[in-house]
Structure 1
Amino acid sequence: MPDSSHQASYVIEKFFEKTPIEEFMDTEFTFDEGEKVPSSIFFGPKCLSSKLYQLSPTEELTLAKMLVRVGPFMVKYLSNVANKFSEENYGSVDRVYVVCKDDKIISESVQLWMIQNYSIKEVIEIEGADHMPMFSAPQDLSDALTHIARIHA
């Protein structure tokens, strides 16, 4: 969750400072010359099954393995965006953070850091949710989104 007082790339950069690259197991990264944060990521099957979809139905994991593609981080682009997330616009929107309690790719400590980094109106925790709560805890996610729409819309 970005904030309005840092560059848009700040959260991604801090995430990689707090998360050792070994945590990503068989994931492949591309780094631009001299950069500490990857420019792209390709999740490996071990990482998908034990860090992102470990509580999701096996059908969803199988589909994820078939559809996985290289994804950009766009850190350079985000670091050059001048005040993209302004307090007048981005800051005027209520933020609710949904903590996926069993997310093993974005640890709970990193999620809590993001919550503390910027003003949050509400924090909702979903027990038994991996990184893909729409698969691992779909009813709980639906209930959370319905609650958010009722209270904060």
Structure 2
Amino acid sequence: MGNYMACMGSKQKKKNSKLNMSGMRRRGPLEDELIEKQALAMALHQQHKAQLRFERSLSHRDPATAPPRRSYSGKPSSGKLEYTRSASTRPRHSNDLLIDPQQLLNGTREGFLAATLESKHFVLVHGGGLGAWCWYKSIALLEESGFVATAVDLAGSGIEPTDPNQITSLAQYVKPLVEILENLAGTEKVILVGHNIGGGCISYVMECFPNRIAKAIFVAASMVCTGQRAFDVFAKQEKGEEDLMPKAQKFIYGNGNASTPTAVELDKSLVRDLFFNASPAKDIALATVSMRPIPFAPAMEKITLTPENYGRVRRFFIETTDDQALSPAAQQNIITQNPPQQVFSLKGSDHSPFFSKPQSLHKIFLEIAQLEAKE
């Protein structure tokens, strides 16, 4: 209950202070070299003429014990589409879906969004060591589809200036996210997305602001139960000789070696295989120069969640099947212990689908956004 009371106190702050939101908003795809554009145009023209179809393959699960699961493999399905390019300049994997970002499943961009969506504002929360920058492809795709996309830098992350070693609580770590929710206009709600230990962060604010969150999406994330820590789901997965996570972690002792670690740094020589094993080289380079140490205390803090607050928000989980940081078995344990409303599976995705499968991830975002409001 402690974190809930802390949030309630925070909500009494003056609303006329300027929003110190270290988020990131970018719009539009990146420009590419002329020769790449010509080659892409030829390939997309051939796809258009063939009227490629996208098929959804449904994972086999026991419906009595598990939430429904949708699997996005990138196979063709019916429907005539006009394709656009994602922000990545790397040749696209054949199983990363190509979609028109303005095309929604059940209506036009203008009419459908305005008329029936419970929320058209996505708030994107990064995982440990990352920042708002990691969502740049998702931001572009969402905005081109008519949504509002806000990516936040948690304290000590991205360009937020706090020293990660000086962050001593989860409340301090998620303060930039809390400020976004506190400053929403009127009765506005958001669709909250969390990745990695960002799942613990969005769980924390779901408890504090259930009336401000329409849906919560956990992308290979810590979807904790009450009393758990965000780091627990990573610590509890089975360790083998080839497991990279313990090898990649370097603890920082900002208060001396005799005290508790203050932050965790990831070995950049191993992070490619750990987080980005299916991602484009340019995105890996961006991550290598942008990642920062992860504050230790927030990930180790137990989170109190209640059915009355956290339990009111509909939850969705997105699996990443080629994940080297959070194994498919560990993700299944998360789902079994704390079942969400629905599970989606991204085939061929590493731990960072916003890099490796941006179009497929975006399609799932659109589908979740279009689910009707809970009565």
Q: TM-score, normalised by structure 2?
A: 0.35
Q: Give aligned pairs, total.
A: 144
Q: Counterparts of 2:295 and 2:238 in 1: how far apart (Å)?
A: 18
Alignment equivalent of 1:16, drawn from 211, 216, 235: 235
1:106-117 counterparts in 2 under 5 A? 106-117=326-337
- The verdict on how the C-alpha distance between 1:39 and 1:17 changes in structure 2, with shifts beyond 3 A counting, is farther
- Paired amino acid for 2:333: W
User: Given the superposition, is the C-alpha separation of residues 30 and 109 from structure 1 closer, same or farther in structure 2, using an over 3 Å criterion?
Assistant: farther
1:136 maps onto 2:360 in alignment: no
One-letter identity of the residue aligned with 1:28? K
Unaligned runs of 5+ in 2: 1-222
Q: Conserved in 2, the CA contact under 8 Å of 1:94 and 1:152?
A: no
Q: For residues 372 and 323 of structure 2, what CA distance do their matches in structure 1 show?
A: 25
Give percent identity, aligned residues only: 24
Whole-Å separation in 2 of the counterparts to 1:39 and 1:118: 29
1:41 corresponds to which of 233, 248, 264: 264
Secondary structure of 1:64's match?
helix
Please give the residue correspondences for 1:48-87 in structure 2 after superposition, counting only pairs within 5 Å.
48-73=271-296, 74-76=298-300, 78-79=301-302, 81=303, 83=304, 85-87=305-307
Amino acid at match of 2:291: V
Please say if residues 27 and 47 of structure 1, whose CA atoms lie closer than 8 Å, have aligned partners that are also in contact. Answer: no
Does residue 1:26 correspond to 2:248, yes or no?
A: yes
Query: Cα distance 1:119–1:33, how it changes in 2: closer, same or farther (>3 A)?
Result: farther
Aligned to 1:127: 347
Superposed displacement of residue 19, structure 1: 4.6
Contact (CA 8 Å) 1:29, 1:40: kept in 2 or not? yes
SS at match of 1:151: coil
Q: Which residue of 1 aligns with 2:316?
A: 96
SS at match of 1:29: strand
Distance in 2 between the 1:33 and 1:14 partners?
26
Distance 1:152 1:105 in 2: 33
Larger strand proportion of the pair: 2
Residue 2 of structure 1, aligned match among 224, 236, 252: 224
Counterpart residue identity of residue 276, structure 2: Y
Note the C-alpha offset of 1:103.
1.1
Contact residue 248 and residue 271 of structure 2 kept, 8 A: no
CA distance in structure 1 between the partners assigned to 2:291 and 2:270 by the alignment: 12
| Contact 1:94–1:120, Cα closer than 8 Å, also in 2 | yes
> Structure 1's 14 and 123: CA in aligned 2 closer, same or farther, altered over 3 A?
closer
Unaligned runs of 5+ in 1: none
CA contact (8 A) 1:96 1:123 kept: yes
CA RMSD of aligned residues (A): 2.5
Higher alpha-carbon Rg = 2
Q: Say whether 1:151 aligns with 2:374.
A: no
For residues 15 and 47 of structure 1, do their structure 2 counterparts lie closer, same or farther at Cα, with a shift above 3 Å needed?
same
**Which whole-Å CA distance do the structure 1 matches of 2:258 and 2:337 have between them?**
29
Question: Per-residue displacement from partner, 1:28-74 (whole Å, max 9, x unpaired)?
Answer: 12478697xx7532111232110101111101101111112101242
Amino acid at match of 2:284: L
Q: Is the contact made by 1:53 and 1:131 (CA closer than 8 Å) also made in structure 2?
A: yes
Q: Deviations over 1:3-45 (max 9, x none)?
A: 2xx3141x5224313254952233312478697xx75321112
Measured in 2, the distance between the counterparts of 1:15 and 1:26 equals: 13
Structure 2 contact 321–349 (Cα < 8 Å) conserved: yes
**Superimposed CA distance per residue, residues 69-113 of structure 1 (whole angstroms, 9 cap, x where no aligned partner):** 10124244x22x5x3x21111111111100011111000011001
